[in-house]
Structure 1
Amino acid sequence: MKSLLARHRFNPVYLAFMAITFMVGIAGALQAPTLSLFLSREVDVRPFWVGLFYTVNAVAGIVVSLLLAKRSDNRGDRRMLILFCCAIAVANAVLFAFNRHYLTLITLGVMLSAIASVAMPQIFALAREYADSSAREAVMFSSVMRAQMSLAWVIGPPLSFSLVLNFGFTLMFGIAALLFVVCIAMIWFTLPSVPRALPTTAMPVAEVSGLKNTDVRLLFIASVLMWSCNSMYIIDMPLYISSTLGLPDSLAGLLMGTAAGLEIPVMLLAGRYVRRTGKRNMMLLAVGCGALFYLGLVLLQNRAALMVLQLFNAVFIGIIAGIGMIWFQDLMPGRPGAATTLFTNSISTGVILAGIFQGTVAENFGHHAVYMLAFALVLVSFALSWRIREARAV
């Protein structure tokens, strides 16, 4: 019995999923935190054009992922799609390493980034299929995988700012490209091809109809608002730290890394206790902590307070990133790729709104007003989440 349990926990495929999620997360965590600084300082554009870049990038990501999501659930090898997206990610990192032309970056760069962004949701979709086919506990499996992303974000942002401040953006993007090359090799040699699991004929139509389901629709809108708040914070915070508060640029990386480190135990605890508390209650707790976080950003501005507030940020993001995705999957049984992509598209839609809001509000009312808006939006998301029913695990 003990040997069977050991094989279940330390299956090499399980470990491969963990390692690949971590590596892809590191590559992304190197590029994303400093993007607003890259556009502001290297490409030399105003806050409005920084926000516009995020918006266009997110729109492209949604369009591309929607085109690929249905195909990934119905035919083809999901593993080959992941490999293709990682190869595009290499090209995207190389482009940003050596190009400083805004029009090129917002066209070709955005197109490559949109395709590359499909890799992570497809890795999670493949992991869900593997968990279902091998009788693994899907919620805990997904939570541990999501914790790998948080671990990557503990390391990635401080490393990103350190590389940029000491060696420049070219080296940072070059290292990201190299990491994606390593990911390609790991995926090719370690990840399995899992046969599609078709939904049963007894499955209610409402449960597989995506946004036609009222609960899925409410969850999507609520998730969009949650991620809008988070994205506004990620876009604005490095600029707010340096230009408004006059604190060191490196503090932005430290804040992101601290939040990501705190997210890891939050995710693991959420995955362990979600069956006892329910996904709905867990999500309401998360959004409540999000409200406290953004209210704190409005009222508090010193270094120590910003560090303490990361605990609330960690509970907020740690739960909605893991349990939120599982909630989508449970509300859309038999369609893990579409459900995971819908969750990812809620993030992308949030980035669209965040890019518009952050660029417009920061340029016209200052950076402080960005967090006042985020506080209002997170309250609306709490009200919407309250109306969503508890989904049954599948």
Structure 2
Amino acid sequence: MSISLAVAVLLLGVADSMVGSYFVLFVTDVAGLSAWQTGLFVSVHGAGGIMLAWLAGRSFDRRPSRGYAAAAMLSGGVALCLMTVIRSYPLLLLLAVTLLGALAAAFPQLFSLARHVLGGGPAAAWSVPLLRSVWSLAWAAGPLLGTAVLTTAGLAAILRSAAGVLVVAALWVLVAVPRPGPPRPHDPLADDPGPRLPRAGAVLLTASITLFFTAMFAGSVAMPLFVTRELGQDDSAVGVLFSVCAAVEVVAALLLAAVPSHVSQRLVILTGMGCFVFFFALTVTARGMALLIAGQVVRGIAIAVVGAAGIRWFQDAMAPATGMATTLFSNATTAGMVVAGIVAGGAVEILGYAGTMVLCGVVAVAAAVAFALGTAARPGRPPPPRARGHRRAARRATRIIR
């Protein structure tokens, strides 16, 4: 694993977690958005991110470059600075779908770079969970940094600080990350081309990832409000909880990298989804920090497992289209954010904070069921290389005879 890529992921994760932990409080307390406006903003941002990340992923497969990741980070940094001064809701929506939306391409681009540089061998199998652990480490440190900035300079300063980190990350990618080589052609004689997604289960599998992250993002919107307004905890408790979750993610992702290759990835992902359901049950029944922290431990395991194993699953299934594979997983994540914005905004007003968390738990159950059904049939493999070669030779001979 390239150390330079790990540093880039770390910087991106720190900026993302600084903003993510306090974003809801910023847009409600500083920007003055209502619950419905916040939900729409998150959804518009997600829709823009899906389109821009898809374009970047497609471009990466055609012409691999570090520039896509750097441009996404710079765009996000500019967007965060502008958000601290813009109060017009239409302008905020425009910002969400353009500059801020472009930031969504940074994460899949970095993981695509890693897969492209390391190829599809054992190093690539280790790189995803290890880079994912670096991302989790950033989410362990970022909220605490955000808390420090909050206590000294306020919510707006968090966005400006994160913007500075993004600029540093973009420059680091351009200077330190190795240039990717030309696109990797698919080798028809590869010994192990990897699993292939069954056509019948592809939709269910993608829907499962979308549902999982719908529950995650909607829960992330409702949880800070549930903790501070219903349970009466201080705002700083939110940063502590997110940091606990991220710290557990680091350990869980590292342990995932050590899981033997013969262990079923399907079972691993289903276990992670089951942990996520348990997290919502713990949080809803909590009345103090003890159960809330226990819930974050379980949440960290779930996010690390589904996040790392899911990326690897998609990359193996769509090889050699690394950019599109990673982007498809990332866009399923972003689609969950789009749906979550609508779900959370309306659910908080209709069901309340605890009711919204219960609803998120139900969505998490649906995600696990969809994944189980979509992967019930084992992923198939292409025919052996020699057989494929014989068939191609036969087709060529047939054309000659004709």
Give the TM-score normalised by structure 2.
Answer: 0.88
1:55 maps to 43
Amino acid at match of 1:29: S
Aligned to 2:90: 103
CA–CA distance in structure 1, aligned partners of residues 284 and 276 of structure 2: 13
Match of 2:387 in 1: none
Residue 300 of structure 1 and its aligned partner are, at CA, apart by 2.4
CA distance in 2 between counterparts of 1:307 and 1:356 reads 27
Contact 1:259 1:311 in 2 (8 A): yes
Percent of pairs with identical residues: 24
The alpha-carbon distance between structure 1 residues 379 and 334, as it changes in their structure 2 partners (threshold 3 A), is same
Alignment counterpart, residue 110 of structure 2, candidates 104, 107, 123: 123
Deviation at 1:209, TM superposition (A): 9.5
State whether residues 83 and 187 of structure 1, in contact with CA within 8 Å, keep that contact through their aligned partners in structure 2.
yes
Residue 231 of structure 1: how far off its partner (Å): 0.3
Does residue 180 (structure 1) correspond to residue 156 (structure 2)? The answer is: no
Q: Indicate if the aligned counterparts of 2:223 and 2:357 stay in contact, CA closer than 8 A.
A: no
CA–CA distance in structure 2, aligned partners of residues 393 and 358 of structure 1: 40
Q: Is the 8 A contact 1:62 1:349 kept in 2?
A: yes
How far has the Cα of 1:247 moved from its partner? Answer: 0.9
**Are residues 1:79 and 2:58 paired?**
no
Could you tell me how far apart the structure 1 residues matched to 2:125 and 2:364 are?
A: 25
State the AA in 2 paired with 1:330. Answer: D
- 2:271 and 2:17 map into 1 onto residues whose CA distance is 26
Q: How many Å separate the matches in 2 of 1:25 and 1:372?
A: 28
Report the AA paired with residue 61 of structure 2: D
Question: Which residue, 152, 157, 175 being the options, matches 1:171?
Answer: 157
Contact kept, 8 Å, 2:45 with 2:100, in 1: the verdict is yes
Deviation at 1:78, TM superposition (A): 2.0
- Greater shift, 158-167 or 261-270, is seen at 158-167
Q: 2:119 matched to which residue of 1?
A: 132
C-alpha deviations, 1:92-115, integer Å up to 9, x for none? 121123323322111124311111
Does the alignment pair 1:232 with 2:225? no
Q: CA deviation at 1:369?
A: 0.8
Partner Cα separation in structure 2 for residue 208 and residue 149 of structure 1: 26
* Per-residue CA distance 1:365-387 (angstroms, 9 max, x = gap): 20111111111111111112223
Following the alignment from structure 2 to structure 1, what is the Cα–Cα distance between the partners of residues 171 and 378?
Answer: 40
Which residue identity lines up with residue 369 of structure 2 in the other structure? A
- When residues 359 and 144 of structure 1 are mapped into structure 2, their CA distance, relative to the original with a 3 A threshold, is same
**In structure 1, how many angstroms separate the alpha carbons of the residues matched to 2:301 and 2:13?**
19
The CA distance in 2 between the partners of 1:380 and 1:184, in whole Å, is 38
Matches within 5 A, 1:1-394: 14-75=2-63, 77-132=64-119, 137-194=123-180, 195-201=182-188, 213-387=199-373, 388=375, 389-391=377-379
What is the alpha-carbon distance in structure 2 between the residues aligned to residue 218 and residue 337 of structure 1?
A: 21
- Once the two structures are TM-superposed, the CA of residue 202 in structure 1 deviates from its matched residue by 6.9
Larger Rg: 2
Q: Which amino acid aligns with 1:96?
A: M
Unaligned runs of 5+ in 2: 383-402
Match of residue 389 from structure 2: none
For the 8 Å contact 2:273–2:302, the answer to whether it is kept is yes
Aligned AA (2:65): R
1:70-104 alpha-carbon deviations (Å, 9 max, x no partner): 122112x4212122212212211211233233221
Letter in 2 for 1:21: V
Structure 1 Cα separation of the partners of residues 353 and 148 of structure 2: 24
Contact 1:162 1:250 in 2 (8 A): no
Q: Distance in 2 between matches of 1:294 and 1:383?
A: 16
Residue number in structure 2 paired with 1:4: none
295-304 or 332-341, larger mean C-alpha shift: 295-304
Q: Tell me the TM-score normalized by structure 1.
A: 0.90
Question: Quick check: 1:96–1:109 contact (8 Å CA) kept in 2?
Answer: no
* Secondary structure class of the residue paired with 2:57: helix
Q: Which amino acid aligns with 2:279?
A: F
Q: Judge conservation of contact 1:199–1:334 (CA < 8 Å) in 2.
A: yes
Q: Is the 8 A contact 2:222 2:357 kept in 1?
A: no
What CA distance in whole angstroms lies between the structure 1 residues aligned with 2:131 and 2:309? 12
Relative to structure 1, the CA distance from residue 186 to residue 392 in structure 2 (aligned partners, 3 Å threshold; closer, same or farther) is farther
Superposed CA RMSD = 2.3
Paired residues, number: 377
CA distances 1:157-211 after superposition (whole Å, capped 9, x unpaired): 12213322431233222211221221122112211222211223579xxx9998x
SS of the aligned residue for 1:275 comes to coil
Q: Distance in 1 between matches of 2:196 and 2:94?
A: 33
Q: Are the aligned partners of 1:271 and 1:323 in contact in 2 as well (CA < 8 Å)?
A: no
Q: Distance in 2 between matches of 1:375 and 1:193?
A: 43
SS in 1 for 2:216: helix
* Aligned-partner residue type, residue 296 of structure 2: Q
- The question of whether the paired residues in 1 share the 8 Å contact of 2:53 and 2:105 is answered with yes
| Post-superposition CA distance 1:13-66 (Å, at most 9, x none) | x11111111011111111111111111101112111111111111111112122
SS at match of 1:44: coil
- Kept in 1, the 8 Å contact 2:211–2:363? The answer is yes
Tell me, yes or no, if the aligned pair for 2:109 and 2:323 is still in contact at 8 Å. yes
Residues 393/298 of structure 1: CA separation in 2 closer, same or farther (3 Å cut):
farther
